[in-house]
């Protein structure tokens, strides 16, 4: 094994960053992890000092704990199937303590700028005024914090007297108390916030431009995403799984139209899953009134696409998030309209020394996938895995993008979708192939160690 490994800057210590940090720590890859916040856990830290968390007081996970936990660190046995955000944040903090790499994280240190020099070494500038140099940059800065407002803005949104916020700015029920609230969207934020509103607002309207299949958290008596069912088998073709789930949904939930919701214009699995154990109940109780898309915001009223109007005090736009890398120059790496082409959602085909972690939206939870990506990255940086040649990577990316385009409803929310079990299965195969490539190349380091001599690292 090579004596000197490349030095790594890892950006972010959310659930993805800590999974990478653990792998690098265990495999002896020298790294510094930069974290804006005073603690780990990212999105799951309610009221996070980084001001980037989109968590609200009532938030519970919607992927079950067994799907979400890291493979070698189970969640505490007394956790429920769908724990509260406070339990999830505590779990991530205990993961870092348990594996003993907290001292490798530089807290309250945001990365402001990263630039590749002519010598191939990256210069990184922090918001604490430091300038540091690294051989490789791993990005785990999260993709659910940069608000995507309706595009274009609704007519009247600049003159209305109705308050307008994004789901990211929704923190607790006090924002809804005694008000007439319109929630826009059919994703998971819209479901949770509409349910909160249904208990605290005087009127709750759920507006949508498209229907969604709402999946309950349980099917039978077990979490819907449990690993021992047909959907979790990567060898069964998607269309068969889709038909089986559609049948189960028809039996257990029925038609969305029967709850007053728009009929989905797609089948299950062709949009990011909307999971809610409570919204259908609140619709059935008449506590939430479904509406089509917003058409116009008047001074004190919201007008919908069907011409109906309701008085309103607050509109909550649950319209999703942008993928952003504010520390890269746009002509280096960017994700316009959430598009970024990466080999298996990790490696940039043009930059062998920049990689991403957790930049995916699984049908299933992100954490075990980030864990597998972390192990993959550690193997890569140690020369134990080699990437395919660039044309092969590009062909793989193109095939993947084409499959996503064919399967998913066209939307900026569907640019980094993966199926949990299929992704892990394919990654296992790719790691084997890349291990063989590395062996044939004599385990040469794909990223040379150049920066180390110039600065102390914590390895
Ligand atoms: C409301 C909500 C509920 C969700 N529920 C689920 C769920 O049930 N299951 C699931 O799998 N996923 C869920 N998600 C998706 C969510 O993205 C993941 O749960 C998880 O937070 C991803 O972790 P991450 O580490 O990639 O990103 P984040 O949790 O966003 O962490 C990113 C970290 O990077 C740090 N950072 C960012 N930029 C910089 C910088 N420039 N310098 C230094 N540090 C930086 C941040 O401070 C933060 O700590 C949910 C998302 C939202 C918005
Ligand atoms: N409890 C939980 O665990 C939980 C809670 C909240 C969020 N999350 C996760 O957080 C992530 C983000 O979820 P999200 O719900 O905030 O965003 P999202 O999944 O991106 O959903 C955005 C919704 O807004 C709609 N929309 C976007 N632009 C619109 C416009 N201009 N006009 C009308 N509708 C518009 C989209 O419709 P189209 O489909 O037509 O684009 C979609 O219904 C997801 O991964 C989600 O699973 C999880």
Q: Whose CA is nearest to atom 38 of ligand 2?
A: 411
Interatomic CA distance for residues 412 and 324, integer angstroms: 13
Q: Which two tokens stand for residue 22?
A: 């653990």
User: What are the CA-CA distances from residue 190 to residues 59, 66, 355 (Å)?
Assistant: 12, 25, 31
Interatomic CA distance for residues 182 and 185, integer angstroms: 10
**Which residues does residue 361 pair with via DSSP β-bridges, in sequence order?**
417
Q: Which residues contact 77 (CB under 8 A, 6 or more apart)?
A: none
Atom of ligand 1 nearest to the CA of 12: 34
Predicted pLDDT of residue 126: 98
CB of 137 closer than 8 Å to CB of 122: yes
User: What are the CA-CA distances from residue 29 to residues 23, 93, 262, 324, 383 (Å)?
Assistant: 8, 22, 51, 27, 11
Q: Whose CA is nearest to atom 33 of ligand 2?
A: 209
Interatomic CA distance for residues 334 and 337, integer angstroms: 10
Q: Whose CA is nearest to atom 47 of ligand 2?
A: 188
| Residue 309 alpha carbon to ligand 1 centre in Å | 36
Q: Which spans in 256-317 are helix H?
A: 279-284
Task: Find the residues whose C-beta lies inside 6 A of ligand 2.
Answer: 59-62, 144, 150-151, 167, 184-190, 192, 209-210, 271-272, 293, 318-321, 361, 409, 411, 413
Q: Is the CB of 17 under 6 A from ligand 1?
A: yes
Atom of ligand 2 nearest to the CA of 276: 1
Predicted pLDDT of residue 221: 85
Interatomic CA distance for residues 60 and 133, integer angstroms: 39
Q: Which two tokens stand for residue 254?
A: 């029925």
Kind and range of the H or E run holding 85? helix 85-99
DSSP helix/strand/coil, 158: coil
CB of 330 closer than 8 Å to CB of 338: no
Predicted pLDDT of residue 453: 62
CB of 315 closer than 8 Å to CB of 201: no
CB of 9 closer than 8 Å to CB of 111: yes
CB of 30 closer than 8 Å to CB of 458: yes
Atom of ligand 2 nearest to the CA of 271: 39
Q: Is the CB of 89 under 6 A from ligand 1?
A: no
Q: Is the CB of 13 under 6 A from ligand 1?
A: yes
Interatomic CA distance for residues 83 and 75, integer angstroms: 10
Interatomic CA distance for residues 69 and 92, integer angstroms: 9
CB of 188 closer than 8 Å to CB of 82: no
φ/ψ (deg, to 5) at 240? -70, -45
Q: Which spans in 238-310 are helix H?
A: 238-252, 279-284
DSSP helix/strand/coil, 414: coil
65-81 as b/e: b if 16+ CB within 10 A: bbbbbbeebebeeebeb
Interatomic CA distance for residues 277 and 283, integer angstroms: 12
Interatomic CA distance for residues 179 and 200, integer angstroms: 8
Interatomic CA distance for residues 423 and 370, integer angstroms: 11
**Ordered per-residue pLDDT tens for the chain, 459 residues:** 556 999 999 999 999 999 999 999 999 999 999 999 999 999 999 999 999 999 999 999 999 999 999 999 999 999 999 999 999 999 999 999 999 999 999 999 999 999 999 999 999 999 999 999 999 999 999 999 999 999 999 999 999 999 999 999 999 999 999 999 999 999 999 999 999 999 999 999 999 999 999 999 998 889 988 877 777 888 899 999 999 989 999 999 999 999 999 999 999 999 999 999 999 999 999 999 999 999 999 999 999 999 999 999 999 999 999 999 999 999 999 999 999 999 999 999 999 999 999 999 998 899 999 999 999 999 999 999 999 999 999 999 999 999 999 999 999 999 999 999 999 999 999 999 999 999 999 999 999 999 976 544 444
User: Dihedral sign, CA of 280, 283, 284, 285?
Assistant: positive
Kind and range of the H or E run holding 394? helix 390-407
Interatomic CA distance for residues 431 and 437, integer angstroms: 10
Predicted pLDDT of residue 92: 98
Q: Is the CB of 19 under 6 A from ligand 1?
A: no
Ligand nearest to the CA of 209: 2
| Residue 31 alpha carbon to ligand 2 centre in Å | 34
Q: Whose CA is nearest to atom 30 of ligand 1?
A: 142
CB of 11 closer than 8 Å to CB of 138: yes
34-60 as b/e: b if 16+ CB within 10 A: bbbbebbbbbbbbebebebbbbbebbb
* Nearest-10 crossing angle of helices 367-381, 15-27: 30
Predicted pLDDT of residue 296: 98
Q: Whose CA is nearest to atom 20 of ligand 2?
A: 320
Q: Whose CA is nearest to atom 26 of ligand 1?
A: 142
| Residue 40 alpha carbon to ligand 1 centre in Å | 10
């Amino acid at each position: 094994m090579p004596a000197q490994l490349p030095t790594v800057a890892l950006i972010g210590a959310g659930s993805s960053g800590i999974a990478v940090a653990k792998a690098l720590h265990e495999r002896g890859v020298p790294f510094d992890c930069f974290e804006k916040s005073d603690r780990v856990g990212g999105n799951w830290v309610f009221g996070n000092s980084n001001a980037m968390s989109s968590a609200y007081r009532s938030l519970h996970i919607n992927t079950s704990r067994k799907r979400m936990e890291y493979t070698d660190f189970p969640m505490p046995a007394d956790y429920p199937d769908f724990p509260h955000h406070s339990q999830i944040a505590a779990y991530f903090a205990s993961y870092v303590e348990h594996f003993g790499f907290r001292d490798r994280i530089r807290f309250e240190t945001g990365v402001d700028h990263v630039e590749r020099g002519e010598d191939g070494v990256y210069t990184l500038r922090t918001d604490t005024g430091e300038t540091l140099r690294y051989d490789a940059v791993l990005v785990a800065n999260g993709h659910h914090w940069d608000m995507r407002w309706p595009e274009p803005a609704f007519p009247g949104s600049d003159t209305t007297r109705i308050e307008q916020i994004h789901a990211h700015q929704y923190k607790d029920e006090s924002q809804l108390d005694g008000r007439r609230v319109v929630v826009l969207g059919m994703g998971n934020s819209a479901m949770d916030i509409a349910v909160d509103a249904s208990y605290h607002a005087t009127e709750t309207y759920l507006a949508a431009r498209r229907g969604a299949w709402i999946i309950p958290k349980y099917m039978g008596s077990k979490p819907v995403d449990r690993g021992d069912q047909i959907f979790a088998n990567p060898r069964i073709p998607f269309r068969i799984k889709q038909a089986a789930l559609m049948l189960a949904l028809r039996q257990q939930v029925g038609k969305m139209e029967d709850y007053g919701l728009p009929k989905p214009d797609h089948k299950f699995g062709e949009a990011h899953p909307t999971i809610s154990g409570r919204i259908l109940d609140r619709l059935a109780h008449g506590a939430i009134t479904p509406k089509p898309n917003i058409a116009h915001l008047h001074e004190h009223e919201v007008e919908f696409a069907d011409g109906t109007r309701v008085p309103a005090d607050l509109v909550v736009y649950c319209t999703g998030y942008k993928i952003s890398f504010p520390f890269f120059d746009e002509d280096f790496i960017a994700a316009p309209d959430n598009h970024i082409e990466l080999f298996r959602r990790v490696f940039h085909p043009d930059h062998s020394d920049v990689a991403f972690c957790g930049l995916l939206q699984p049908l299933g939870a992100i954490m075990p996938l980030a864990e597998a990506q972390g192990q993959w990255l550690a193997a890569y940086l140690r020369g134990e895995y080699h990437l395919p040649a660039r044309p092969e990577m590009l062909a793989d990316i193109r095939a993947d993008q084409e499959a996503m385009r064919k399967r998913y409803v066209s939307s900026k929310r569907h640019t980094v979708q993966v199926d949990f079990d299929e992704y892990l299965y394919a990654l296992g195969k790719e790691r084997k192939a890349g291990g063989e490539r590395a062996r044939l190349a004599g385990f040469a380091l794909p990223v040379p160690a150049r920066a180390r001599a110039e600065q102390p690292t914590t390895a």
